[in-house]
Amino acid sequence: MKTFNKSLTAALVSGVIAATAATSVMAESDGKVKLGILADMGGVYADICGRGCVTAAEMAIEDFGGKALGQPIELVTADSQLKPDIASSIARQWVEADGVDAIGGLVSSAVSGAVSKVNLNAKKLTLISGSASNTFTTKSCNPFNVHWTYNVVALANGTVKPMVQAGKKKWFFITADYSFGHALEGVASKVINENGGEVVGTIRAPLGTTDFSSYVLQAQASGADVVALANAGNDTVNALKTATEFGLTEMMDVAGLLVFTQNAQAMDPAVAGGMRLTTGFYWDMDDKARDWSQRFEERHGSIPSMIHAGVYSATTHYLNAVEASGTEDAAVVIKKMKATKPEDFFSRNAELRADGRMVHDMLSVEIKKSEERKDKNDIYKVISVIPGNEAFSPMLPQCNFS
């Protein structure tokens, strides 16, 4: 494999990935197609991409038939612990020593960034389903990144823009203090300013904060129309609980910029009911989504997050491309992935662009109030479909890896 890596690296340096396509099909195979899922098994994002992301990948492999190119598909998994150094160490072991062909899951933008760097060096695919930062198809784009599911731009365009246009002009941010939160705040602030609003203040809270009292008090004193929670997972739940206890929700609107179904289930509908948000998937959106989600719930014990659905979709599209291109070579496989439109219960009006961004329809939804719910899983009502070309930003010329 050393000779293969050297030839592929040389081709990339020359800027002609396509020139390797014919010869790379002939590259030696280790007798299996091997996928890695790196997730958060015990941290603040475990509910949205922990064991559930593994379950989604297992379902995709089983539905594909368990083999690709006549070879068994093997799945390896690990806990990133949300630490970039641990994630990069695992990824390096996987791709350099264990024969892993692609790594997916990847919740937390810092973790995804660390794995992306390892995979770029090893010329392996990074199938990002859980991270929100748009850097992977902008500032940190590379020919082996695939960004599925959602990003901060789609969230801001889907949630912030209509609120500002409806007259909610003054915004205050409570932001998760790491790359994802910074990116979400930055993109949302740009949308606010471009639509005639203003950011009157911002404060940043460490990942995993449980006591949001001081942050909520500053938000109360800001005079904002909207307090935006630029965080996710348990951080969003804890921030909203504190906002309710302090009466913030009676004074001003609270916008959850990234709320997953698991978070919405954990929120008191008397408080969260009526909150608008943007999502890439909802289990009850139609028959196709319901059918897959029922199978997922039977295996996992809860309804899927959009990340779970995204992992299944990205894994399936990857395996289809491996089979269609006749090789595990990442340079060839990603070219086939981009040439073929994704189409499944998750991917609606979708395309995988040359920059690695999977563009698809997003949903504007509203959290249902108690009296509107039929059962514990009846969480959202779909307000509108947001076309992908309106939700996601255009491709940058420097990230066009066609």
Is the predicted pLDDT of residue 365 greater than 90, yes or no?
yes
pLDDT band at 11 (very low <50, low <70, confident <90, very high): very low
d(CA 31, CA 4): 16
Q: Rounded mean pLDDT of 185-214?
A: 96
pLDDT digits (tens, 9 = 90+) for 53-73: 999 999 999 999 999 999 999
Q: Rounded mean pLDDT of 19-44?
A: 69
Query: What's the confidence (pLDDT) of residue 29?
Result: 56
The b-or-e profile of 240-261 (16+ CB within 10 A means b, else e) is bbbbbebebbeebbbbbbbbbb
- List, by residue range, all CATH 3.40.50.2300 domains of the chain: 28-150+286-356, 153-279+362-389
Q: Rounded mean pLDDT of 166-171?
A: 97
Q: What percent of the chain has pLDDT over 70?
A: 93
**CATH number, span 153-279+362-389:** 3.40.50.2300
Is the predicted pLDDT of residue 118 greater than 60, yes or no?
yes
Query: What's the confidence (pLDDT) of residue 7?
Result: 36
As a whole number, the mean pLDDT across the chain is 91
pLDDT digits (tens, 9 = 90+) for 179-198: 889 999 999 999 999 999 99
**CATH number, span 28-150+286-356:** 3.40.50.2300
Token match 């009911």: residue?
273
Is the predicted pLDDT of residue 327 greater than 90, yes or no?
yes
pLDDT digits (tens, 9 = 90+) for 243-295: 999 999 899 999 999 999 999 998 889 888 988 899 999 999 999 999 999 99
d(CA 313, CA 311): 5
Tell me, letter by letter, the H, E, C secondary structure of 329-382: CHHHHHHHHHHCCCCCCCCCCCEECCCCEEECCEEEEEECCHHHCCCCCCCEEE
pLDDT digits (tens, 9 = 90+) for 131-166: 999 999 999 999 999 999 999 999 999 999 999 999
